[in-house]
Structure 1
Amino acid sequence: MAAAAVGALLAAPALVAVSSAPAVALEDNPFVGAGQYVNPDWSALVETAAAEVGDPGVAADMRAIADEPTSVWMDRIAAIEGTERQHGLQWHLDEAVAQSGGSPLVFNVVIYDLPGRDCHALASNGELPATAAGMARYKTEYIDPIAALLNQPEYENLRIVATIEPDSLPNLVTNQSDADCVASAPYYREGVQYALTELYEVGNVYSYLDAAHSGWLGWPDNSGRSAQEFANVIEGSTYGWDAVSGFVTNTANTTPLEETFLPNPDLQVGGGQVKSAGWFEWNPDFDEIDWTAHLYDLMIAQGAPSSIGMLIDTGRNGWGGAARPTAVSTSTDLNTYVNESRVDRRNHRGAWCNPSGAGIGQRPTVTPSGHAESHLDAFVWVKPPGESDGSSVEIPNDEGKRLDRMCDPTYQSSELGGRLTGALPDAPLSGHWFQAQFEMLVANAYPAIG
C-alpha cells in the first residue's frame, strides 16, 4: 500500500467526549425504514477475491453479495484510527453519512476489546490484560475515544447498532472452571457496563448484547444462568434496560437458522427423544430460531421490557451445497436419524473455528417474517464472510492472537468428544482474509446466490 494511502487509513483528529443523556427517543427497531452501511473495505476484498477465482460463475456470485451490509469491527485500540488492513472509525462514519444521502442509515459496529478478551480461546485473545490497568486502558483508550467519535454532531442522524463484546458474558456462565475466565470475570462485567453507559449517552446508539448461540447456551441450566447473568449486568449499569435494545446471537458462528428436518426436540425415534441424540446431547434448542425465542422469554421473565429485539448473524450459517439434506431421514436408529437429517454438517456443535462445509446464510433482512416468537429485529452479517476465525498454525503477530488448537484441522479435541475439529487448513490469523474459506462459503450458500 502506498504511503499516502496508509496515512489516510491512520489519520484521525483528537476528540473530546461529550457526555449527555439522549435527547431523543430511540426507535423500537433501528433497522425499520433505514438503509444499512456497506463497508467499502469488505467490498474491496470481495472484488479482489472474485478476480482471483477462475470460474466466472463463482466470481459473479461473489460480486452479487459485495454490497451486502457487514459490521465494522473495533477489535483493538489501533482499529479506531485505522490499520494497514482497514480504515479507521471516523473514515467509516464519514462514508456512512455519504451513503445515507440524508436518509436514515444503520451503521453496524462491533465493540470487542475487553481486558482478558476471549478467556476460553486463544485465536482471538486481545491486547489488554485482565487487570485494573487493563480496565483503565479499556475505558480511556478504547471506549472513550469511540464514544467521542460517535458523539460528533455530523453523525447524529446515523442509527448506530453496536454488538457488545462477543463471547464475554457467555464465558462467565459456562467456563468458570477456566482460571483465565475467573480472572477476567469482574473486568468483563465492569467493561460491558461501562460500554453500555457511554454508548447510550451518545444518543443514537442501539446496543445489542452478545448472547452466544443455541449450541452453547441452549441447555436449561446454561440458558437460565445466562439470563440471570445478562440481567444482573444490565440492571447494574447506569441506565439499566434503557441502554439495551436487545440481544444478538450466533456472532461469528455457523449454527443454522433452522434445523428444517428436526423441528421437534421431543419427537420419539428408536425409543429416545431427538434431543437425547449424541449430536444434541439433551439440548432442546436446535437452532437460532429456537434460541432467540427461548432467550426472549427468559429475559422477559428477568424484567426486560417487551420491546427488546433479537438479531441473528446469518453470514455463515447457510449450510448449503451437496451435503445439505433434502428430506428427513427414514432411519429408526436415533443417532442415524439425526445425523442424516441435520443441516449442520460439523463434527460437533462446539466446533467453531473455520468449519469445513459452512456456507453463507440468509442475506441481511429487516424484521424477518415467520418467526414471531423470536421477536427478530433483523438478520445481520456481524462477522464479514471471508474473515478467518483463527490461524491453523502459530503465526507471530502484534495483535495478541495465538494458536488455538480448535483451529488446527489435525487436532482431536476433548471438548468435541475426541473428534477432529473439522477446521479448514492454511488459515490466517483471526480477522484476516481467508480466500479459500470465502470460496467455500459462496459455493455452499443457502439460499444459493446465483
Structure 2
Amino acid sequence: MRVTPGIAGAVIAVLALAGCTGGDDDPSPTPTASASDGSDATMVIGGDDHVDNPYDGAVMYVNEDWSTNVRETAGESTDAVLAASMKAVANQPTAVWLDRIAAIEGTSDARGLEAHLDAALRQAESAEDGAPVVVTLVIYDLPGRDCYALASSGELSATDADMARYREDYIDVIAEILAREEYADLRIVAVVEPDSLPNLVTNATDSRCEDAAPYYREGVVYALDSFARLGHVYSYLDAAHSGWLGWPDNAGGAVALFAEIAQETQAGFGSIDGFVTDTANTTPLEEPFLDATDTVGGQEVRNASFYETNPDIDEVSWAADLWSRATAAGFAESTGIVIDTSRNGWGGTARPTAASSSTDLETYVDESRVDRRVHRGAWCNPAGAGLGMRPEASPEGYPDAHLDAFMWVKPPGESDGSSRLIANDQGKAFDQMCDPAYESDRLGGQLTGALPDAPISGAWFPAQFAELVANAYPPVGTDVTTDGALGTPTPTLGSGACTAMLTVRDSWEGGYVADVTVTANVDVSNWSVELPAGTVVRDGAADIWGVVESGGSVSPTGWSATLAAGASATFGWVGVGDDPAAGPLVCNAS
C-alpha cells in the first residue's frame, strides 16, 4: 500500500554540505557518492536551500486528477448538501502515488510525474508572495511489496531481476526527473515505501516477508541514497501507525531497524528528514475522551480488548513515542513527523460526544472511543470512516509529536483493495480483509467491516468518498483548534459551522418559490444566511417564512434558532424576478 537511466553528474545539483538533513550540526566532511551510471556526484545533505520542514511556508500541491474525480462524484450525487461539501474539499492537496513503473510516464486515467511537476510549477506562479510549492510523492514499488497483504501487492517480485528493475526503471527514472533544473525550486517530499520496513518488524516470519526482506532493505537504502543527492528532495520513511507499532517491543524494534537502514546509507541519519504515520490508515489523530493510563474498574484503558495493552491509543501518542525513540537512537532532534489525516476523522452521528459513564472497562472504551472500527487491525475500506484534519503545515497543539504537517497522503476516495477478485494488470491481488462478508481470525473472528463493491487498490471509489465527506471531523467548512497539547477538538464557529442549500420549488415568468435547508455541522445557538445578491421578496415580510430578513441577510425565528449538530431547519420565500441559482449559500453560526 501503501527512483532514467542513471543519474548523470551534470544534472545533479552540487551544493556545499551544510550539515545533515534538518540542520544536524555534524562537522564531518562532505560525503561523495557515485551516481548509478558510474559518474561521481557530490551528495547533497541539506545545502542552503534544504529547509528543516519542507511544508512550512510552502503551498501544498493540488492534484487536479483527484479534484476532477471529486467534482464528478459531487455532480452525480442526489444529496445537494453532501454534493456541496464534496465540492468544498475538491481543492485540498493530496499526495501523488507512484505505485508502478507506468505511473512515472502516466496512464490513460492519470498524468505522469513530469506532468504533475509541470502543474506544480503553474501553481507556484500564482502562489502568494512567491511561496514555493511542495509536492508529496509516495514511492511505492518495492519487489515483493506489502508482503503481508494481497490487496496492495505490486508488479515486482522478490527476485534479483526485479530488484534491478526497481533501481534502474523506477528509482533512477524518478530521481533523474526530479534532478532537472526546471524543478529545482519545487520542494519534493518522498514518502518512502509504505508498509515495507514495518512488515519486517512484525511479520518477519511470514514466508513472503522472509523472501522480500533483503530487497526491502536494499531498495529503501537505494532510494534514500538517490534522493539525498538532491537538495530540494526530502525523504520521509513510512512508520506504519499506532495500532501496528505502538506496543513497546514493536516500537523499539521499528526504530532500531530505521536506524540500521539510515546507517547503511551513504548519508547516514542525514538521508532521512522524518517519518510518516497512519499512511492509508484510519487510526484517529486523538482519542479525546480516553487516556491510555486512565483507570476504569481497576484496569487501565490500554488493557481493554480494543487496545490489547498498546499504550499508543492514537496517532499523536505514536508520533510522540516514535520521535522520542528515534532521537535517542541517533536521529536529529529536527526530525519531523507527518500524519496522514485523510481518513481518520471518524465524525458523523456515530462519533461519541462525551466519555462513557460506565464503570466496566470494555463498555467504557467501546462507548468512548471515536475509532468505530470493529478492530484496530481492520484496515481495508473501513465503513464509517471520515475525512480528518485538513492538510496543514506545522500544526500547533502537539508539541511532543514534533509534527511537520497534517497531509492527505492517501487521497480520500481511492480504494484500499477490491471486495472481490478483480482481474487487473497492476499485480494487485484479492485480499479477504477487503471482503465485508469475511470473518477474520486477525480480527478476533469478526467481520472485516469493509465497504462492499470496492474496486482494486488505488482506483476511485465514489461510495467511499461520499461516506468520508459525510463523516468528516471536523465537518467540512469547520475549523478546529485545540485546548492544550492533547486537548479536545473545539469547533471554531462562523462560516462553515452550518451549511445552507437553496432549491427552487416552483417558478414562472417573473417569479419563483425558493426553499433553503440549513444544517448545523456543530451545535449552534443561532445562525444566519446570506440571500443571493439581488433577491427581492414579493410583498415583503408576508412572503418569507421561518426567518426575518434585514439587509439581504436572514435569521431564524422561534425554535429553529438552536440546532444540534446534524439537525436541520428550513425557510423559504416567494421571489420576484429570475430564479436564483440552486446550490449553497453563505451560512454563519454562533
TM-score range, shorter chain: over 0.9
Distance 1:230-1:16 versus aligned 2 partners, 3 A rule: closer
Selected match of 1:415 from 442, 448, 463: 442
Selected match of 1:28 from 52, 56, 75: 52
Look up the SS of the partner of 2:380 in the other structure.
coil
| Structure showing greater Rg | 2
CA contact (8 A) 2:451 2:464 kept: yes
Distance 1:216-1:14 versus aligned 2 partners, 3 A rule: closer
Tell me the TM-score normalized by structure 1.
0.96
Mapped to 2, the partners of 1:281 and 1:111 lie a distance apart of 32
- 1:114 matched to which residue of 2? 142
Report how far residue 134 of structure 1 moved: 1.1
Q: Once the two structures are aligned, what percentage of the paired residues are identical?
A: 60
CA contact (8 A) 1:15 1:149 kept: no
Matched, 1:43 2:70: no
Query: Which moves more between the two structures, 195-204 or 71-80?
Result: 195-204
Amino acid at match of 2:63: N
Aligned residues: 437
- The C-alpha deviation readout for 1:339-388, integer Å capped at 9, x for no partner, is 00000000000000000000000000111111000000000000000000
Distance 1:329-1:134 versus aligned 2 partners, 3 A rule: same
- 2:153 matched to which residue of 1? 125
- 1:359 matched to which residue of 2? 386
Amino acid at match of 1:437: Q
CA contact (8 A) 2:5 2:172 kept: no
Mapped to 1, the partners of 2:111 and 2:224 lie a distance apart of 24
1:246-265 alignment, distance < 5 Å: 246-262=274-290, 264-265=291-292
CA contact (8 A) 1:213 1:288 kept: yes
Selected match of 1:103 from 131, 136, 147: 131
Amino acid at match of 1:444: N
Report how far residue 199 of structure 1 moved: 1.0
CA contact (8 A) 1:257 1:287 kept: yes
Amino acid at match of 2:148: H
Mapped to 1, the partners of 2:91 and 2:462 lie a distance apart of 18
- The C-alpha deviation readout for 1:306-335, integer Å capped at 9, x for no partner, is 010000000000000000000000001100
Mapped to 2, the partners of 1:14 and 1:215 lie a distance apart of 39
Mapped to 2, the partners of 1:35 and 1:265 lie a distance apart of 36
Look up the SS of the partner of 2:219 in the other structure.
helix
Matched, 1:58 2:78: no
Structure 2, unpaired ranges of 5+ = 13-40, 478-590
- The C-alpha deviation readout for 1:78-129, integer Å capped at 9, x for no partner, is 0000011200000000110111015311011100000000000000001111
Amino acid at match of 1:236: E
Report how far residue 55 of structure 1 moved: 1.3
Mapped to 2, the partners of 1:25 and 1:239 lie a distance apart of 17
Matched, 1:329 2:353: no
CA contact (8 A) 2:158 2:211 kept: yes
Matched, 1:305 2:332: yes
Matched, 1:318 2:342: no
Matched, 1:446 2:470: no
- The C-alpha deviation readout for 1:110-154, integer Å capped at 9, x for no partner, is 000000000000000011110111110000000000000000000
Amino acid at match of 1:164: V
Look up the SS of the partner of 1:92 in the other structure.
helix
- 1:406 matched to which residue of 2? 433
Matched, 1:390 2:417: yes
More strand as a share of residues: 2
Look up the SS of the partner of 1:321 in the other structure.
coil
Matched, 1:91 2:115: yes
1:103-252 alignment, distance < 5 Å: 103-252=131-280
- The C-alpha deviation readout for 1:283-319, integer Å capped at 9, x for no partner, is 0000000000000000011011101000000000000
Report how far residue 14 of structure 1 moved: 8.4
- 1:6 matched to which residue of 2? none
Q: Following superposition, which runs of at least 4 residues in structure 1 exceed 3 angstroms of deviation? A: 13-20
Mapped to 2, the partners of 1:429 and 1:318 lie a distance apart of 23
- 1:345 matched to which residue of 2? 372
Amino acid at match of 2:115: W
Mapped to 1, the partners of 2:395 and 2:458 lie a distance apart of 28
Amino acid at match of 2:448: T
Query: Which moves more between the two structures, 146-155 or 235-244?
Result: 235-244
Q: CA RMSD in A?
A: 1.2
- 1:72 matched to which residue of 2? 96
CA contact (8 A) 2:280 2:409 kept: yes
Structure 1, unpaired ranges of 5+ = 1-12
More helix as a share of residues: 1
- The C-alpha deviation readout for 1:181-210, integer Å capped at 9, x for no partner, is 011001001100000010111221011100
Report how far residue 177 of structure 1 moved: 2.1
CA contact (8 A) 2:57 2:131 kept: no
Report how far residue 15 of structure 1 moved: 8.9
Amino acid at match of 2:218: E
Mapped to 1, the partners of 2:83 and 2:197 lie a distance apart of 39
Tell me the TM-score normalized by structure 2.
0.73
- Where relative contact order (Cα < 8 A, 6+ residues apart) is larger, the structure is 1
Query: Which moves more between the two structures, 428-437 or 270-279?
Result: 270-279
Mapped to 1, the partners of 2:67 and 2:413 lie a distance apart of 11
Matched, 1:288 2:315: yes
Amino acid at match of 1:53: S
Look up the SS of the partner of 1:69 in the other structure.
coil
Mapped to 2, the partners of 1:338 and 1:433 lie a distance apart of 34
